[in-house]
């Protein structure tokens, strides 16, 4: 198709860990089932020859929301100014609204992101705002508009996150 995609591959050190593998596959499955303009599209999932799972996503070009916020603050020594990329307070609010719409869509379908932060939002040059990294996402049973999302981790209670357990991400 002559388009660029991003391939996310499970780290070699985690490959023997069945829980890490199931979490990785769940991340791909949840993300793929959340079809929204502000959620990264997943195109394919598979297994490399060494047995590690991978999935591919649309390549998003741009900057993280964290970087944009830093640039706006740097340009705004005496109030709200526009940074060199054209972002000011108004455009930041627009991005925030699109992120809220994506998260609202996910919540309505019973999915909680659990790692939403400016580093996990990409902002494109043409107004795109894309929520990334659904690796800590969790399905909840009492969704207002359940969409019948399903993942590999639902098949076995041994893969469920226990109450009080802490799962971290970098950044």
C-alpha closest to that of 6 among 51, 65, 83, 61: 61
Strands 121-123 and 129-131: antiparallel
3-class secondary-structure state, position 89: helix
DSSP 33-75: H---TTBPPEEEEEE-TTS-EEEEEE---SEEHHHHHHHHHHH
- Residues with Cβ within 8 Å of residue 89, at least 6 apart in sequence: 72, 80
Element (H or E) spanning 166, and its range?
none
Distance of CA 18 to the CA centre of its chain: 22
Where residue 157 falls (left for φ over 0; alpha for ψ -120 to 50; beta otherwise) is alpha
Out of 115, 133, 142, 155, the active site residue is 115
Q: Does the annotation mark 142 as catalytic? A: no
Catalytic residue positions, numbered:
115
């Amino acid at each position: 198709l002559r388009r660029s995609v991003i391939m996310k591959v499970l780290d070699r050190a985690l490959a023997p860990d069945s829980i890490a593998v199931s979490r990785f596959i769940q991340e791909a499955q949840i993300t793929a089932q959340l079809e929204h303009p502000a959620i990264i599209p997943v195109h394919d999932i598979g297994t490399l020859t060494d047995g590690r799972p991978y999935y591919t996503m649309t390549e998003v070009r741009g900057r993280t929301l964290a970087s944009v916020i830093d640039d706006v603050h740097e340009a705004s020594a005496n109030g709200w100014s526009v940074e060199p990329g054209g972002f000011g307070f108004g455009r930041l609010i627009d991005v925030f609204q699109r992120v809220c719409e994506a998260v609202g869509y996910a919540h309505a379908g019973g999915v909680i992101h659990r790692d939403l932060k400016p580093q996990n939002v990409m902002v494109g040059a043409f107004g795109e705002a894309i929520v990334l990294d659904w690796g800590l996402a969790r399905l909840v049973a009492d969704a207002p508009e359940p969409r019948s999302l399903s993942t590999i981790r639902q098949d076995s209670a041994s893969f469920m996150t226990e109450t009080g357990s802490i799962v971290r991400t970098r950044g």
